[in-house]
Homo-oligomer: A and B are copies of this chain.
Amino acid sequence: MAPALDVRKTTTRLSDGRELIYFDANTQPGREGPGRDAPDRTAPGRDLPDNTAPDRTALGRGAPDRRRLPSAEADCGLRYDPLLAAWVMYSAHRQDRSYLPAAAECPLCPSAVGRQTEIPASDYEVVVFQNRYPALADAAASGGETRGLLGSRAAAGRCEVICFTGEHDASFADLSPQRVRLVTEALIDRTAELSALRGVAQVFCFENRGREIGVTQPHPHGQIYAYPFVTPRTDRMLRSVRAYTRRTGRNLFDDVVAAERAAGARLVRTGRHWVAFVPHAARWPYELHCYPIRRVPDLASLLPAERAELADFQLDLLGRFSRLFAGPAPYVWGWHQAPARVGRDALALHLELFTPRRSDDKLKYLAGSESGMDAFANDIVPEQAAERLRRLG
């Protein structure tokens, strides 16, 4: 049986009051060494935070943020669209965020003596911190709270950044399996902590990768959104699941996964605990959905053996994506977990991964039909996408 990963968590604050958390794997020497993305630095001891790293120039887990940033006051608000029955997030301050900085100015790299980044330590494994330019934050709503048809309110949520590795030029597909497990443990921790915050309804963990889809920081990182509402996508899935259960007594996710396994033509990988397939009605040129075979509502419900196999799956699937085209494919992956307080017996945890790239030099854009009517057109037939992804294994 796969052992649970032993994780040490060190919490600190940045100079503007934002929270930052280091996640370190306590490896047992001789059993599981650091991966290629975690060079053989002496890991900080258990009795931290302080500066106990043997290298005297190194900044430890307790190193302070010396930047004296002005206190974080995000101008975030929510507005309700009564026609689409959906909240929209506003964050006027985000227009100023940095855009594709050079590696020497990367704010997500570890700090060095004389160069302070968002992460005060001079190395890290996985680190999470509150986004300096959040789309959601507990702050005054733009224009104040209004009731009635055109309602608005404070954002009452939180946006966090998760860095997967200190290595600026790496990507998720380059991580070691142990590092991927550590990332998952961090996501589990954040999902639990953020779900417990007053007003948070749902937590979404995702990675955007590639400047073609607007990524402003090339350093390998993901994001964690704690929404004060159940998102439109999740609401629609829950609606479908409930209607199906009323009609059949069964869970729709169970039957979709069973139907994909029975059909076989779109399967890309089947493991002992996980299955990955191109969905029958994929919207994107290359899209993969990855489910645990045992239905669970969220990442926290996964057993150690499921978590261990998941790391292999994620690395394998992202590796296939990286080999699809001449250059690295831009992609988005996101974890669909049950909301904090509703649909916990209905929604099935799964990972969705897609690239908008449809060939070496062409992207799928969301134009009139998609942006105006939510009606997707896809040029690549799912069985062909699955066939290509199978061959890239």
Which chain A residues have a beta carbon within 8 Å of chain B's beta carbons?
79-92, 94-95, 99, 135, 142-143, 148-150, 152, 204, 206-208, 213-215, 223, 225, 227, 229, 231-234, 236-237, 239-241, 244, 252-253, 255-256, 259-260, 263, 279-283, 332, 334, 336, 352, 354, 358-359, 362-369, 371-384
Across the interface, do B374 and A231 meet the contact criterion of CB distance under 8 Å? yes
Q: 18 pairs across A/B with beta carbons < 8 Å?
A: A79-B280, A82-B240, A83-B240, A83-B252, A83-B253, A84-B240, A86-B374, A87-B375, A89-B378, A90-B378, A149-B255, A150-B281, A204-B375, A208-B367, A231-B374, A231-B375, A232-B373, A332-B368
A279 surroundings in chain B (CB, below 8 A):
81
Across the interface, do A252 and B82 meet the contact criterion of CB distance under 8 Å? yes
A88 surroundings in chain B (CB, below 8 A):
281-283, 376-378
Partner of A368, one of B206, B363, B367, B380: B206
Bound complex: CA of A146 vs CA of B354, how far in Å? 25
A332 surroundings in chain B (CB, below 8 A):
367-368, 371-372
A241 surroundings in chain B (CB, below 8 A):
83
- Total copies of the chain: 2
Min distance, Cβ A162 to any Cβ of chain B, angstroms: 12
CB-based nearest B residue for A208: B367
CB-based nearest B residue for A202: B373
Bound complex: CA of A332 vs CA of B365, how far in Å? 12
A371 surroundings in chain B (CB, below 8 A):
332, 354
A234 surroundings in chain B (CB, below 8 A):
373
A95 surroundings in chain B (CB, below 8 A):
358-359, 379-380
Across the interface, do A239 and B85 meet the contact criterion of CB distance under 8 Å? yes
- Among A82, A86, A92, A374, the most chain B Cβ lie within 10 Å of the Cβ of A82
- Among A364, A371, A382, the most chain B Cβ lie within 10 Å of the Cβ of A371
Across the interface, do B213 and A92 meet the contact criterion of CB distance under 8 Å? no
Bound complex: CA of A87 vs CA of B374, how far in Å? 10
Bound complex: CA of A384 vs CA of B366, how far in Å? 26
Across the interface, do B367 and A84 meet the contact criterion of CB distance under 8 Å? no
Across the interface, do A256 and B375 meet the contact criterion of CB distance under 8 Å? no
- Among A279, A281, A283, the most chain B Cβ lie within 10 Å of the Cβ of A281
Bound complex: CA of A225 vs CA of B371, how far in Å? 14
Min distance, Cβ A240 to any Cβ of chain B, angstroms: 5
Across the interface, do A381 and B240 meet the contact criterion of CB distance under 8 Å? no
Across the interface, do A214 and B365 meet the contact criterion of CB distance under 8 Å? yes
